Amino acid sequence: MSRGRGRGRGRGKPFAGLESLLPGEPPPPPILTPPPLFPPMEKRPLELRKLPTDTELLALKENLRLYMQQSPFALKAGPEKQGIRRYSDKYIQLLESESNEFVSWRPDWRFFPGELRPGSSKRRRVSSGPKPVVPSSRKRARSSEGGRGGGGGAGKDSAPPGRKKVTFADGGERVDPLSDVDESVTKEKGEEEGEGEEGEGEVEEEVYDEEVEEEDTDYNMSYFDNGEDYGGNESDALEEGPFESGSMEVGEDGDMMVEDIMCEGAEAVAVGGGRDGLDISSCDEEVPVYYSPHQHQVSVGVAGMMVKLVRIVRSVEVTP
């Protein structure tokens, strides 16, 4: 083999071009274009075999293909949301699920890793502390999240990762602060265990392709601000206000005022992935563009509970 290396590697034809060459003639000019995409074939292939088994196989294949396309396994991009939540959304979804018996296929979570469950990343850091602690805890939250990178999917860490996803994408579900805080505490205790764990009743109730999780109230509880964060924290250069830029997941729909507040960097982070310290700075540059003082007042309501919400909302990490 090595002997032939300079000579065509077994694939080259040492005499190839010489067949038609006559001695004394100059060699033909080199071909500079790539070979044709569909070179003409001297021989046609055989006819397609059409035994009865083949027709049956074909029929089976077609059936299979059609079935798979209509099954719940063929994930389709969600329907385009109009931007506003409609009353009929709930019923359209119900109708669809009734007509198609496959829509509500439920996986048996014992056979899947825990992190794939829809509610599994709705964990929150139950951090305590009155408002003065707010700026530093925010920083702490951010930097510690950053440091952790892609960890904790299996939930085996002793410190529960403070990650929470506020999915505004799906049909405008709101975070119900009261229910979630309760849930999260129990969840955190539950989530300490290994992957195959299925424990929490709350999580079990979630239908796999649920759109509406918590109760929808017409009153947006997360928008009340008692002005505590406005004007008092100029010393903190990294301060970004109640809604942290990178904290929301950008959904398919563009609704909600919350997302208006976000800076563009957030979108990249939401789609992109791991947060580390670098992302924060990129967000910071754009913050001034979008922030306006009045939005500091658009914040959360009742004092203690809402401060928690603020912290929770801020501490979202998009990627586990």
Partner 1 sequence: MSKQQVRLASLLLEEAFGDQVEAVGTYLLKNGGSNLGEISKGTGLQINKVKKCLVVLIQHQLALFEPHSSGKYVLYSVSVESVQLRGRFPRYILASRELYGQIGELICEYILHQGRTLMSQCINRVAERLEVTLGAAPAEVSKVVKTKFVGMVEGQYLTRVKPPSTESALGQVNSGDSARTPIFGKFELPSSLTAIKYTGNKRKRDEEDPGNQPSSKRAKKNTGEGEEKPVDDGVFWSVNFDNFHQHFQDKAIVSAVRERVDETAACVMRSLLRMAINLSQDKSLQTKSSPTLYKGRMAEYLPDKPKLSEMDLEHYLKALTDDQAHFLSKEDDSGGGGYAVDYQQCAQGLCQATVEGIVRERFSSKCLRVFRLLLVKRVLEQKQVVDMAMIPSKEARELLYSLLAENFISLQEIPRTMDYAPSRTFYLFSVNLPSVARLLLERTYQALGNIVSRRMFEMKTHK
Q: Which is nearer to partner 1, 225 or 259 (CB)?
A: 259
Q: Which is nearer to partner 1, 167 or 184 (CB)?
A: 167
DSSP class of residue 250 equals P
Return the C-alpha torsion angle 110, 112, 114, 117, nearest 10: -100
Residue type, 55: T
Q: Which is nearer to partner 1, 61 or 86 (CB)?
A: 61
State the minimum distance, in angstroms, from the CB of residue 93 to partner 1: 13
If one counts every other C-beta atom within 10 angstroms of the C-beta of residue 147, the result is: 11
State the minimum distance, in angstroms, from the CB of residue 72 to partner 1: 9
In 3D space, the residue among 127, 306, 314 whose CA is nearest the CA of residue 228 turns out to be 306
Instruction: Match 């992302």 to its residue by tokens.
Output: 279
Q: Which is nearer to partner 1, 225 or 317 (CB)?
A: 317
d(CA 45, CA 234): 78
Q: Which is nearer to partner 1, 113 or 135 (CB)?
A: 113
d(CA 92, CA 102): 16
Record the tokens describing residue 108, joined without a space: 């048996």
State the minimum distance, in angstroms, from the CB of residue 133 to partner 1: 28
Report the phi/psi class of residue 83: left, alpha or beta, with left for phi > 0 and alpha for psi in -120 to 50: left
Residue type, 41: M
State the minimum distance, in angstroms, from the CB of residue 37 to partner 1: 12
Q: Which is nearer to partner 1, 3 or 294 (CB)?
A: 3
State the minimum distance, in angstroms, from the CB of residue 222 to partner 1: 20
State the minimum distance, in angstroms, from the CB of residue 154 to partner 1: 5
If one counts every other C-beta atom within 10 angstroms of the C-beta of residue 165, the result is: 23
SS3 for 48?
A: coil
